[in-house]
């Protein structure tokens, strides 16, 4: 799957709440073949402090209209800049990068878990699973009401469960304490979110022999395997999150 570098046109910038927004990009008629879990390296122009590109997951792909989306949480200078992009602006982007979540080989009950901006890759992943015959349950965790992003699209695909830390929506607490874990039995968990959350799910899964894949958000310089900055310590030694990941089976991680 060839990597590309393109100036893609922004065709939409939708603000979800104070912290999150979605950019929709026109990918052209020869749109790339994306896999769920892959990411892109976007260039940040217009700030003296943002030298490097920023990695963002592929949030959703629309092969009919040749567009794809990225969902971004504003955390610093670069994401702030991106939030200011308007329809018609060009975004320089290297994509698609990295590996992807594996598709089950046999019938499996699948749970997708996302926290914070970690929900970004899950929409495309959910679609992909459904397309391949696996209807996933989807568990999303937010800090509070104000941080919630619309989950309508997810609901169209599978059952959606919500937690908020303050209990304002869904169950109160962290995703890891959601009742779904006691009422359901999953064969596979796919997860993206804060490291503590992923570690907790990894431990849970390992104890129960559940297949668990997580998507890591290590700091990256190049995103294409050239700098060796994004490494993660695995049973195979230090390997690159950007090429050997971002998706890892938790059994390979030294967690």
Partner 1 sequence: MVNLGFSIGDLHFKNPVLTASGTFGYGSEFDDFINVSRLGGIVLKGTTLEPREGNLYPRMAETPSGMLNAVGLQNKGIDYFEEHIYPRVINYDTNVIVNINGSYIEDYIALAERVNKLKKIRAIELNISCPNVKMGGMVFGTNLDSSREVTREVRSVYSGKLIVKLSPNVTNIVDFARVVEEEGADSVSLINTLLGMSVDVAKMKPSLSTVTGGLSGPAIKPVALRMVWQVANAVKIPVIGIGGIMSASDALEFILAGASAIQVGTASFIDPQSSVKILEGIESYLLLKGFSDITEITGFINRTT
* Interacting residue ranges for ligand FES, rule: CB under 6 A: 220-223, 225-230, 240-242
Q: Which of residues 88-147 bind partner 1 (CB under 8 A)?
A: 94
Cβ proximity to ligand FMN: between 10 and 231 the closer is 231
Cβ proximity to ligand FMN: between 219 and 235 the closer is 219
Q: Answer yes or no whether residue 95 interacts with ligand FAD by CB under 6 A.
A: no
Name the residue among 74, 72, 15 with its Cα closest to residue 40.
72
Residue 114: count of CB within 10 angstroms of its CB: 28
Q: Which of residues 116-175 bind ligand FAD (CB under 6 A)?
A: 117, 120
| Residue 212 structure tokens | 């668990």
Residue 220: beta bridge partners? none
Secondary structure letter of residue 242 according to DSSP: T
Q: DSSP of 115-142, one letter per residue?
A: EGGGGTTHHHHHHHHHHTT---EEEEEE
- Please classify residue 110 by burial: count the beta carbons closer than 10 Å to its beta carbon, then call 0-12 exposed, 13-18 middle and 19+ buried: buried
Q: Which of residues 212-241 bind ligand FMN (CB under 6 A)?
A: 227, 229
Peptide bond connecting 143 to the previous residue in cis, omega within 30 degrees of 0: no
Q: Answer yes or no whether residue 243 interacts with ligand FAD by CB under 6 A.
A: no
Q: Answer yes or no whether residue 222 interacts with partner 1 by CB under 8 A.
A: yes
Q: Answer yes or no whether residue 35 interacts with partner 1 by CB under 8 A.
A: no
Among 8, 22, 32, 55, binds ligand FAD (CB under 6 A): 55
Q: Which residues bind a copy of itself (CB under 8 A)?
A: 45-48, 50-51
Q: Which residues bind ligand FMN (CB under 6 A)?
A: 227, 229
């Amino acid at each position: 799957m060839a990597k590309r570098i393109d100036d893609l046109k922004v065709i939409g910038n939708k603000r979800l709440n104070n912290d999150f927004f979605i950019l929709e990009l026109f990918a052209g008629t020869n749109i790339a073949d994306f896999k769920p879990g892959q990411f892109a390296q976007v260039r940040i122009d217009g700030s003296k402090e943002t030298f490097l590109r920023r990695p963002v997951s592929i949030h959703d792909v629309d092969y009919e209209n040749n567009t794809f989306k990225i969902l971004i949480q504003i955390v610093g200078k670069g994401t702030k800049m991106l939030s200011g992009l308007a329809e018609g602006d060009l975004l320089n982007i290297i994509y698609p990068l990295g590996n992807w979540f594996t598709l089950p080989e046999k019938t499996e009950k699948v749970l997708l878990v996302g926290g914070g901006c970690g929900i970004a890759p899950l929409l495309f992943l959910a679609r992909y699973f459904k397309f391949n015959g696996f209807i996933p349950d989807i568990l999303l965790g937010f800090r509070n009401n104000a941080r919630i992003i619309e989950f309508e699209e997810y609901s169209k695909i599978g059952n959606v469960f919500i937690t908020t830390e303050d209990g304002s929506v869904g169950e109160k607490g962290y995703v890891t304490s959601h009742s779904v874990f006691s009422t359901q039995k999953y064969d596979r968990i796919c997860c993206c979110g804060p490291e503590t959350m992923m570690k907790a799910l990894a431990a849970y899964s390992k104890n129960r022999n559940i297949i668990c894949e997580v998507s890591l958000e290590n700091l990256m310089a190049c995103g294409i395997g050239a700098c060796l900055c994004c490494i993660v310590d695995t049973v195979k030694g230090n390997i690159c999150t950007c090429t050997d990941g971002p998706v890892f089976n938790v059994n390979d991680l030294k967690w």
